[in-house]
Structure 1
């Protein structure tokens, strides 16, 4: 379905400063927009937390035509237990490997690619190819599956994705040949999301969302957040539906029209993130109390 787009993957982060350094100085991504919130998201975009949090969208280009990363930071939470659900984001960028070595960031070379680990444990598989200037360097996101046939059936028949390739152990799916792909990899066991679980997001025409929700209802699939409108102060209102696949991977479908307005690049995004990190005194406060809390 070419009318649908792969948008981003949501990562929970505990160390905002170290994470910002990794994404900016190592991966070479740019801050696209940054927002601060005083209370938890109605669609639990920041996870099951009710307190103050921030969202930073970061990537290689505008969200209209790039698959990006959403970094959610919950004030007061320093780390999240990693599960086996997220298996990596693949990026074409030999330059990122060179930047990692220049910044003394650990690099695990594995033939035609290297593996970099972000603060918190998320893995990035960096292909030894020049970082393209005319298209998105992000190639795919790999998620674990406990039953590949069941997973493919869900994403193909219910989520409307095209299967581009499939083996006994993995399947590559997407909405468009030129977009970042979703790869499902059979891990031969139960998928554990632990506390660091993320969420993958796609856009669809706003009028499609009620139908997507109804299709999942008819198939007795999990709906985490029924069709809802979300407001961002001073920005567009967007409609979303939050689902979960058979392994519990969270999926956000958002109305494309509102999201394109909401996701416009903010020239002050980098400055806003730096300002928020400078004002954040939680490290000092928790140090006096014996350390931050781990989720």
Structure 2
């Protein structure tokens, strides 16, 4: 990834570097956050992983090791695997409820759903288009697990919208909870709305027009 830009918001006491493989207006972007004065986070066990497609997994792993990263699974085939950009565990096992929420409130499509007895999980892949051309989200139910520790290290999934106020209303109607009412961010005036899905995962809606101005 490349460092695309860095944003400091002293009013909110945090700094964001944005990293990705191309322009933010047309590519998936990872937003890293440093909160002033915080030097440690509880990662928890509810967030799964980010998935990135590579031509040579072995070379990618060697580079990760060389740069000080830790490999927890060596390169090799995964039965029933898929390529994704983000994965969260469905904390109370109600995968159907989570799917309906992301369809109705977020406007995503259920691209596929697969039960994986060998991995003791069921995975629902959600997105706005085919997986080979779009960022997708995996919702995962692990057999028998009904509670996860979210910790405080996971931030949020950010989604562009033409109207943050209407998006917030849709969240409320579909069982989500608004934790930051729609409005501009201090210092940059980009309008956002922040909510929790029915399982407590944080989502943020960002005004498309404001976001493009921010990139100018």
- Report the counterpart of residue 46 of structure 1 in structure 2: none
Aligned equivalents of 1:192 and 1:231: distance in 2? 31
CA RMSD of aligned residues (A): 2.3
What whole-Å deviation, never above 9, does each CA across 1:166-220 have from its counterpart, x for those lacking one?
Answer: 1241100111222210110013321321221320001011xx3222222223344
How many residues are paired up? 198
Unaligned runs of 5+ residues in structure 2 are: 116-121
1:245-260 equivalences in 2 (<5 Å): 245-260=197-212
2:156 is the counterpart of 1:156: no
The structural deviation recorded for 1:231 is 4.3
> Which of 137, 141, 147 is residue 86 of structure 2 equivalent to?
141
The structural deviation recorded for 1:241 is 1.2
Aligned equivalents of 2:167 and 2:49: distance in 1? 27
1:80-99 equivalences in 2 (<5 Å): 80-93=41-54, 94=56, 95-99=59-63
> Which of 157, 162, 179 is residue 134 of structure 2 equivalent to?
179
Aligned equivalents of 2:88 and 2:24: distance in 1? 21
Between 1 and 2, higher relative CO (CA 8 Å, sep ≥ 6) is seen in: 1
- Give the secondary-structure state (helix, strand or coil) at the position aligned to 1:90: coil
Aligned equivalents of 1:220 and 1:247: distance in 2? 10
1:95-244 equivalences in 2 (<5 Å): 95-103=59-67, 105-107=69-71, 108-112=73-77, 139-145=84-90, 146=92, 147-168=94-115, 169-177=122-130, 178-187=133-142, 188-205=145-162, 208-233=163-188, 237-244=189-196
Aligned equivalents of 1:103 and 1:36: distance in 2? 26
- Report the counterpart of residue 60 of structure 1 in structure 2: 21
- Structure with bigger helix share is 1
Distance 1:76 1:112, change over 3 A: same
Distance 1:104 1:227, change over 3 A: closer
Distance 1:184 1:261, change over 3 A: same
8 Å Cα contact 1:191-1:247 kept in structure 2: no
Aligned equivalents of 2:4 and 2:128: distance in 1? 23
8 Å Cα contact 2:192-2:206 kept in structure 1: yes
The structural deviation recorded for 1:104 is 5.1
Unaligned runs of 5+ residues in structure 1 are: 1-28, 41-51, 114-124, 128-137, 265-295
